[in-house]
Amino acid sequence: GAGVSQTPSNKVTEKGKYVELRCDPISGHTALYWYRQSLGQGPEFLIYFQGTGAADDSGLPNDRFFAVRPEGSVSTLKIQRTERGDSAVYLCASTDIKGGVTGELFFGEGSRLTVL
Amino acid sequence: AQSVTQLGSHVSVSEGALVLLRCNYSSSVPPYLFWYVQYPNQGLQLLLKYTSAATLVKGINGFEAEFKKSETSFHLTKPSAHMSDAAEYFCAVSDGGTNAGKSTFGDGTTLTVKP
């Protein structure tokens, strides 16, 4: 079946612009996670959705970052007034109920954001 | 708070040789531990996981890892490297429970396999 799909795969924007990154999880997966991976580092947790609600947004770096999942499936990560330091690969992962207990995540290929 | 240290950002082995990728963790609660692999231009894929059952965990592609509480380690091994094992490997820890997917990752180890 289809895996986690992320669009766009690459996004180049200018400092100060607004950006939206989309994640389409595996069908039936109730839990959805956003991670950010900077160059040379491992992924860092940003936010976790269980259904439509953000169950844990403790990893969002500041109020320029916001994410939604209005119907409990597709999620959008929104970044306002982008800064050069926001340049990274943004990873989305989903998991089913069983995976939510064991922690197994299914990752997409990521959206590479470059802020000039 | 949790943390993961992967010793060696780059490891190079010959084809057929033992693969050993080191991971040490810190956790205030019994941890869940994971190894993920990332091939070029692909997403992270779970290799194996420890979730408080058997301490020796077998994963895909012939990899295994042993949870050693006394050493706070979860090293990844494979007896014989194959060219297709060349990739980046990430160790991760979570505290389980209802948010088991919230993991802290190490910075990764790039494995090179020489012919």
DSSP string for residues in chain B: --EEEEE-SEEEEETTS-EEEEEEEE-SSPPEEEEEEE-TTS--EEEEEESSS-SEEE-GGG-EEEEETTTTEEEEEESS--GGG-EEEEEEEE--GGGTT--EE---EEEEEE-
Tell me how far apart the alpha carbons of residues A93 and A109 are, in angstroms, rounded to a whole number. 9
A104 in contact with B, Cβ within 8 Å: yes
Beta-carbon contacts of residue B97 (< 8 Å; ≥ 6 apart): none
Average pLDDT value over all residues in chain B: 93
Q: What is the pLDDT of residues B47-78, one digit of tens each?
A: 999 987 789 999 999 999 999 999 999 999 99
Q: What is the pLDDT of residues A53-111, one digit of tens each?
A: 998 999 999 999 999 999 999 999 999 999 999 999 999 999 987 766 777 899 999 99
In Å, what is the CA distance from A76 to each residue of A34, B16, B77? 10, 44, 37
Give residue A76's pLDDT. 98
Supply A30's token pair: 């109730």
Coil vs helix vs strand at A50: strand
Coil vs helix vs strand at A98: helix
State percent of chain B over pLDDT 90: 78
Give residue B51's pLDDT. 86
| Dihedral pair phi/psi, residue A26, rounded to 5° | -65, 135
- Are A3 and B46 a contacting pair at CB < 8 A? no
Report the residue of chain B nearest A46, measured CA to CA.
B102
State the average pLDDT over residues B28-54: 89
B27 in contact with A, Cβ within 8 Å: no
Taking the CA atoms of A55, A96, B85 and A87 in sequence, report the sign of the dihedral they define.
negative
Tell me how far apart the alpha carbons of residues B107 and B92 are, in angstroms, rounded to a whole number. 9
Q: To the nearest 10°, report the CA torsion of B59, A73, A8, B101.
A: -30
pLDDT bin (cut points 50, 70, 90) of residue B95 is confident
In angstroms, the first-to-last Cα distance of chain A is: 37
Of A56, A104, A106, the CB nearest to B102: A56
Q: Is the pLDDT of residue B27 over 90?
A: no
Select from A47, A60, A105, A106 the residue whose CB has the most chain B CBs within 10 Å, as the one to mutate to test that interface: A105
Coil vs helix vs strand at A100: helix
The HSE-up count of residue B80 (CA atoms within 13 Å, CB side) is 1
